[in-house]
């Protein structure tokens, strides 16, 4: 994981974005936030297990499907299975030690 501070690459309203193997943060203080780091590590694992490019294709496809189902961009984003997994487990610092492959599938609706 390579941490980079860039308010220009991180969309407004978000703290960070993970583009394997980089984590871009809006604010450098986030590097010391264990919950933020764990959330982004979960995304790194998701990206690695899907060999990166398929992750992005699935993420974008699911976003557009969720966008049709939900009223706002934020609701659509929060209901993407990859995000649901990361948010549900971001406070569990042991999660990645026991996470099974393709665990994001449990968070699909």
Measured CA to CA, the distance from residue 39 to residue 56 in angstroms comes to 17
Kindly report the backbone phi and psi dihedral angles of residue 25, in degrees, each rounded to the nearest multiple of 5, phi listed first: -115, 145
Q: Which of 6, 9, 50, 48 is nearest to 31 (CA)?
A: 6
User: What pLDDT score was predicted for residue 83?
Assistant: 98
**pLDDT one-digit tens code per residue, 43-70:** 999 999 999 999 999 999 999 999 999 9
Contact 70, 79 (CB under 8 A): yes
Q: What is the model's pTM?
A: 0.95
**Tokens 């993420």 -> residue:** 59
């Amino acid at each position: 994981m390579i941490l980079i501070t860039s308010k220009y690459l991180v969309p407004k309203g978000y703290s960070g974005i993970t583009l394997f193997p980089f984590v871009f943060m809006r604010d450098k203080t986030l590097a010391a936030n264990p919950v933020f780091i764990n959330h982004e590590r979960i995304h790194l694992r998701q990206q690695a297990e899907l060999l990166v490019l398929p992750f992005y294709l699935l993420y974008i496809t699911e976003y557009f499907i969720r966008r049709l189902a939900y009223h706002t961009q934020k609701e659509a984003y929060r209901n993407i299975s990859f995000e649901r997994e990361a948010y549900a487990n971001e406070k569990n610092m042991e999660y990645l030690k026991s996470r099974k492959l393709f665990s994001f599938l449990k968070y699909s609706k």
